[in-house]
């Protein structure tokens, strides 16, 4: 069976409803939003990317990856806090400088049983930033620090041979499910809790290199996974698979009809029961347009909005096409607003505030 052929098997729906033609970006409504800056590059060549956001202990807390000069430099984790989400404190490192020849990278803010953990991975510096089997080194491991009395506590090892793209989500049975990769660049889900993780590997089908799977608990019997593909694909769309047994097994990923710019996404269930997906849903525009898609059931999205477009020019020459635009969206819901954090051109960390009524 051609796994890249769209599936009509039980459980599959067109991920984007009523899409009979390419998505017309120019015709999409622009959702009203307020824009705030967390950190901005000035006169020094540096990268700020892969931001995360959480609200804990009366504070908005943001983390991201910082490096000087290039993505292959000795990256480390930075953080900033805010009382109102508008004005942010000067950035500080929460990982410290890595040992020579190694790097740190943010892996999510994990709200676990009343605690907040900043997750990050540790591995060798890779002189080749192309994602694939050589991207991570043999020392890869998932680390964490717990927020304690207004600061990050001591470093703790969470799991060897593991990185995460997103903080784990809690399933109806109480277990935690995280999405990431091992040092072989295999898509790896971890299921359980600290000290008791089960690894679930999803092999990439022929002609596909799975990456950055989002996970969504649709109901107590169904988990949905959406992936990007690192290999050539035309049209470029997301792939999807399901688990019907609480995450212990995952079906073969198959093509959807949802456009993708080969970039990271975020998905969550809102307090009113709707679902929202943030992504760069345009192969033609790449990451120059950041969108929000809304679904009533978490499977089929029927409303698509533009959150940001027309990014500012990169401040430094040499920024690649894949860096240009709005990268790595993540979000949280707080007091009737959706707060969407992202990196512009992998240089500035920004956050947009959207009233949930904008999706009515």
Q: What is the DSSP string of 181-206?
A: E-TT--EEEEEEETTEEEEEEEPPPT
Contact at 8 Å (CB) between 14 and 257? yes
* pLDDT tens-place string over residues 86-104: 999 999 999 999 999 999 9
Q: Does residue 128 or residue 28 have the better pLDDT?
A: 28
Residue with tokens 């004005």: 87
In this prediction, residue 283 carries a pLDDT of: 82
Work out the average pLDDT over 311-320: 77
Residues making up the chain, counted from first to last: 360
In this prediction, residue 69 carries a pLDDT of: 73
- Between 2.60.40.3880, 2.120.10.10, 3.40.50.12780, 1.20.120.80, what CATH number should domain 32-359 receive? 2.120.10.10
Torsion of CA 283, 327, 228, 289, to 10 degrees: -30
pLDDT > 80? residue 54: yes
Q: Does residue 133 or residue 300 have the better pLDDT?
A: 300
In this prediction, residue 134 carries a pLDDT of: 78
Reference 201, options 354, 230, 192, 210; nearest CA is 210
* pLDDT tens-place string over residues 244-291: 999 999 999 999 999 999 999 999 999 999 999 999 988 888 999 999
Report the range of poorest mean pLDDT among 39-48, 58-67, 185-194, 197-206.
Answer: 39-48
| Domain spans in the chain, listed from the N-terminal domain onward | 32-359
* pLDDT tens-place string over residues 332-342: 999 999 999 99
Return phi, psi of residue 288, to 5°.
-75, -10
pLDDT > 90? residue 204: yes
Mean per-residue pLDDT over the chain, rounded: 92
In this prediction, residue 131 carries a pLDDT of: 73
* pLDDT tens-place string over residues 131-167: 777 789 999 999 999 999 999 999 999 999 999 999 9
How would you classify residue 179: left for phi > 0, otherwise alpha for psi between -120 and 50, otherwise beta?
A: beta
């Amino acid at each position: 069976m051609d796994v890249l052929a769209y599936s009509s098997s039980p459980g599959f729906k067109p991920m984007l409803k009523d899409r009979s033609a390419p998505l017309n970006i120019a015709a999409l409504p622009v959702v009203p939003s307020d824009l705030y800056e967390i950190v901005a590059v000035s006169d020094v060549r540096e990268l700020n990317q892969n931001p995360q956001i959480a609200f804990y202990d009366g504070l908005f807390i943001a983390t991201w990856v910082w490096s000087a000069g290039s993505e292959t430099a000795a990256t480390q984790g930075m953080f900033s806090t805010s009382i109102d989400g508008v004005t942010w404190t000067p950035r500080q490192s929460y990982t410290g400088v890595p040992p020579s020849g190694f790097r740190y990278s943010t892996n999510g803010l994990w709200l676990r049983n009343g605690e907040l953990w900043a997750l990050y991975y540790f591995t060798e510096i890779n002189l080749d930033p192309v994602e694939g089997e050589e991207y991570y080194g043999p020392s890869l491991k998932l680390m964490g620090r717990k927020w304690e009395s207004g600061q990050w506590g001591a470093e703790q090892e969470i799991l060897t041979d593991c990185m995460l793209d997103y903080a784990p989500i809690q399933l109806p049975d109480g277990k935690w499910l995280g999405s990431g990769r091992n040092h072989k660049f295999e898509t790896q889900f971890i299921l359980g809790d600290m000290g008791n993780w089960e690894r679930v590997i999803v092999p990439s089908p022929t002609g596909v290199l799975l990456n950055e799977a989002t996970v969504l608990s649709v109901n107590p019997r169904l988990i949905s996974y959406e992936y990007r593909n690192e290999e050539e694909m035309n049209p470029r769309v997301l792939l999807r698979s399901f688990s019907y047994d609480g995450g212990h097994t995952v079906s073969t990923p198959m093509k959807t009809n949802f456009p993708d710019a080969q970039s990271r996404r975020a998905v969550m269930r809102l307090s009113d029961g709707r679902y929202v997906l943030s992504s760069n849903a345009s192969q033609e525009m790449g990451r120059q347009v950041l969108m929000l898609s809304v679904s009533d059931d978490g499977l089929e999205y029927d409303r698509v909005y533009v959150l940001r477009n027309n990014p500012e020019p990169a401040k430094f020459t040499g920024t690649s096409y894949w860096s240009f635009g709005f990268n790595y969206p993540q979000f949280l819901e707080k007091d009737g607003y959706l707060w969407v954090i992202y990196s512009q051109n992998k240089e500035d960390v920004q956050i947009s505030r959207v009233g949930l009524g904008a999706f009515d």
